[in-house]
């Protein structure tokens, strides 16, 4: 029994590397508000469960083990990063809304990522995370970590980076992110655009009215109303975004596995 346990140590270390890399970039699990000790402990606990619930090859500790470690780290970092990139469509949509409402001048520091983020973007991003937790979508992310070994075996030493499909995949992913961001922001941006048109007519017909003084608080007030009215549509788009994230993660893992 002791010999068998020793034989599985290299496989456990490789699984731990991939799971830890996922924890560094995966949405919700990678945020700075989560303590680092919890991330390390959770990654170790998850790797320990996975190693005893799968059929793993016996890995030898030789020079190829270093290549396997690098491969596992790249898989976890890039697959988690592509999911985080798509989720940032909400921040992009919030930035577009802030641009129309005049809030872009007041960027705030997002405690989850430690970077500056648009005001409305942070507001919508928080609702999206709560929706992600309410629908158990974070469980789907963990499923993606576990089932990644179906596409990328543990003993696969190299990733086929020479495949030309990667360029097409990156282009489609970026295009999808901006399309989703545009869909989320379009109802409010379109409504505020009509408000700007109305203020332009008022400025031409009644020159005595200072539209710059009246327009700024008016657009903020109407923007909040439009945001409240279109919130159900926003959650529908967030649900579609989560499904797109799962499909994109699976597609990238298929490219890595040469499927």
The tokens for 56 are: 């793993």
Band of pLDDT at residue 3, cut at 50, 70 and 90: very low
pLDDT tens string 31-72: 777 888 888 888 888 888 888 877 777 777 778 888 888 888
Of 152, 143, 170, which Cα lies nearest the Cα of 81?
170
Element (H, E) at 117: strand 116-117
Contacts of residue 86, defined as CB under 8 A and 6 or more positions apart, other chains included, come to 173, 176, 177, 180, 241, 244, 245, 248
Of 102, 95, 99, 125, which Cα lies nearest the Cα of 113?
125
**What is the domain partition of the chain in residue ranges?**
2-257
pLDDT tens string 94-153: 888 888 887 766 666 666 556 666 778 788 888 888 888 888 888 888 888 888 888 888
Asked whether the predicted pLDDT for residue 259 surpasses 70, the reply is: no
Distances (CA, A) of 2 to 7, 8, 56: 9, 10, 17
pTM (2 d.p.)? 0.82
Residue keyed to tokens 């596995």: 257
Q: Which of left, alpha, beta for 21 (phi over 0: left; psi -120 to 50: alpha)?
A: alpha
């Amino acid at each position: 029994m002791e010999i068998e346990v020793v034989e599985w140590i290299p496989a456990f270390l490789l699984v731990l590397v991939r799971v830890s890399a996922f924890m560094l970039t995966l949405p919700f699990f990678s945020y700075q508000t989560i303590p680092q000790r919890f991330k390390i402990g959770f990654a170790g606990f998850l790797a320990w469960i996975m190693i005893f619930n799968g059929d793993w090859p016996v890995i030898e500790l030789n020079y190829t083990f270093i290549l396997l470690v690098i491969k596992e780290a790249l898989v976890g970092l890039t697959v988690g990063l592509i999911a985080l990139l798509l989720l940032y469509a909400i921040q992009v949509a919030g930035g577009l809304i802030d641009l129309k409402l005049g809030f872009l001048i007041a960027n705030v520091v997002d405690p989850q990522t430690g970077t500056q983020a648009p005001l409305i973007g942070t507001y919508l991003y928080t609702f999206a995370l709560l929706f992600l937790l309410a629908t158990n979508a974070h469980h789907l992310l963990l499923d993606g970590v576990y089932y990644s070994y179906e596409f990328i075996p543990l003993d696969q030493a190299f990733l086929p980076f020479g495949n030309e499909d990667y360029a097409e995949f990156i282009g489609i992913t970026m295009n999808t992110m901006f399309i989703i961001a545009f869909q989320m922001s379009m109802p409010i941006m379109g409504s505020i655009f009509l408000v700007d048109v109305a203020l332009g007519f008022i400025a031409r017909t009644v020159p005595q009215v200072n539209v710059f003084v009246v327009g700024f608080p008016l657009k903020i007030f109407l923007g909040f109303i439009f945001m409240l009215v279109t919130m159900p549509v926003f959650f529908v788009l967030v649900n579609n975004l989560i499904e797109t994230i799962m499909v994109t993660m699976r597609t990238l893992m298929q490219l890595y596995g040469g499927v």
